[in-house]
């Protein structure tokens, strides 16, 4: 239930380094969620790239990646220790989760040596910024029902279709793409997995502006986009197997997220003068409990992986727990503020930090699989309940 001595010592080492290069995080000084304009998104990305290079130079980026691919070859619990420390400090939010936690492990597991050499180093340094072209207007929760087509033309594939809810597509340079390569095969067996250069001709990106004014998701239209055959990851028509590696990594990464800590809510309660309210205290205690449960579930998952076992039901429930936890934090933050929660920045508490968090938290209940789909996954795969009708 606790970090082993080796990890605890490593965490202390990482924390000591962070103390020399950054300041402790506090919602009183934390900037609002940015990204209101395309220029701000690009500025944020460059700031994050500079920080990622600094992490890499210090040896704290991708520590769970194999050494031959630029990592430290350490067990996953060491990478989790770095992220836990990172959450304590006011440093640029990393936009590289899709690359480091999803594309990277997928290429390590399924990529050719040439593909790994071409994309992994830049992914770890932040040079490559990835997005995920999976979901479609008629194939979101039922991802295997996708209709984007890829047709072989010599040494290239010609892709036509539409993707939606693509995080960071408007600033990404590489994408993981799922496309149907055999329309006559059963839907899970006719899909292939590609790496796409987002600067390729025939790509149109339409940002989807969210309720908080930022752009995170996008629609992506593909009209005769050509992809080299060398960018096919895994075997032709076996993309679903490759994608399962990506999706498993995505759920774990999202489930282990630490967007806001309960300690920050306690700071807010003190600032609003309601830390003595018994109902507020009870909710804070409940959220603290869930925060610790999430931490322990993460320990169980990493222990299973390090012992060569597939994680059990805990891997299936972690993402669902996290999305509900984020929603409960957002709701309590508004309740603590009372009528003040209706104020717009900069008059809102913490200069609008909680305002933006509340408006943007809904994405965590949709991205990476909706709450409803996650419950289906738990019911069918963990509890053995009958499957939903096809």
Residues assigned a catalytic role:
250
Q: How is residue 119 written in tokens?
A: 């994309």
- Asked if residues 158 and 226 have their Cβ atoms less than 8 Å apart, the reply is yes
The region, left, alpha or beta by phi > 0 then psi within -120 to 50, assigned to residue 350 is left
Residue 136: φ, ψ to 5°: -130, 165
Distance CA 60, CA 62 (A): 7
Instruction: Say how many residues make up the chain.
Output: 390
Give residue 144's Cα distance to chain centre. Answer: 21
Distance CA 311, CA 314 (A): 7
- Asked if residues 161 and 175 have their Cβ atoms less than 8 Å apart, the reply is no
DSSP-based three-state secondary structure for 154: coil
- Asked if residues 249 and 103 have their Cβ atoms less than 8 Å apart, the reply is no
337: nearest Cα among 285, 289, 283, 280: 280
Query: Exposed e or buried b for every residue in 19-57, given b needs 16+ CB within 10 A?
Result: eeebeebebeebebbebeeeeebeebbeebbebbebbbe
3-state DSSP percent of the chain in helix, strand and coil, to 5: 50, 15, 35
- Asked if residues 165 and 217 have their Cβ atoms less than 8 Å apart, the reply is yes
Distance CA 353, CA 369 (A): 26
Would you call the peptide bond into 63 cis, given omega within 30 degrees of 0 as the criterion?
no
Beta bridge partners of 133: 177
DSSP character at residue 130: E
Structure-token match 């994680």, residue found: 311
Q: How is residue 114 written in tokens?
A: 């040439």
């Amino acid at each position: 239930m606790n970090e082993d001595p080796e990890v605890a010592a490593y965490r202390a080492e990482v924390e000591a380094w962070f103390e020399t290069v950054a300041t402790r995080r506090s919602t009183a000084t934390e900037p609002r969620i940015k990204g209101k304009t395309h220029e701000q998104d690009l500025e944020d990305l460059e700031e994050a790239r500079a920080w990622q290079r600094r992490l890499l130079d210090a040896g704290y980026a991708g520590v769970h990646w194999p050494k031959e691919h630029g990592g430290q070859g350490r067990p996953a619990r060491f990478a989790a220790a770095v992220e836990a420390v990172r959450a304590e400090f006011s440093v640029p939010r990393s936009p590289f989760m899709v690359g480091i936690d999803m594309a990277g492990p997928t290429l390590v597991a399924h990529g050719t040596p040439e593909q790994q050499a071409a994309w992994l180093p830049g992914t770890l340094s932040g040079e490559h910024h990835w997005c995920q072209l999976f979901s479609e207007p008629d194939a979101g929760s039922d991802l295997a029902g996708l209709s984007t087509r890829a047709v072989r033309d010599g040494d290239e594939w010609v892709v036509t279709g539409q993707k939606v809810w693509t995080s960071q597509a408007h600033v990404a340079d590489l994408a993981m793409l799922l496309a149907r390569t055999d329309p006559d095969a059963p839907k899970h067996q006719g899909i292939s997995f590609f790496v796409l250069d987002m600067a390729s001709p025939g790509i149109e990106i339409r940002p989807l502006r969210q309720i908080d004014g930022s752009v995170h998701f996008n629609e992506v239209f593909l009209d005769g986009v050509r992809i080299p055959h060398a960018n096919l990851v895994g075997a032709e028509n076996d993309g679903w197997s490759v994608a399962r590696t990506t999706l498993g990594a995505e759920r774990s990464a999202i489930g282990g997220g630490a967007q806001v800590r309960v300690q920050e809510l306690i700071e807010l309660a003190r600032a609003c003068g309601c830390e003595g309210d018994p109902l507020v205290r009870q909710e804070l205690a409940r959220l603290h409990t869930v925060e610790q449960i999430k931490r322990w579930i993460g320990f169980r998952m990493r222990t299973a992986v390090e012992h060569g076992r597939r994680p059990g039901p805990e891997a299936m429930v972690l993402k669902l727990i996290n999305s509900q936890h984020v929603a409960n934090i957002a709701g309590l933050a508004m309740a603590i503020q009372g009528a003040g929660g209706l104020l717009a920045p900069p008059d809102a508490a913490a200069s609008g930090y909680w305002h933006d968090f509340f408006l943007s938290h809904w994405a965590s209940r949709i991205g990476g699989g909706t709450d409803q789909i996650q419950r289906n996954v738990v019911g069918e795969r963990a509890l053995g309940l009958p499957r939903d009708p096809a």
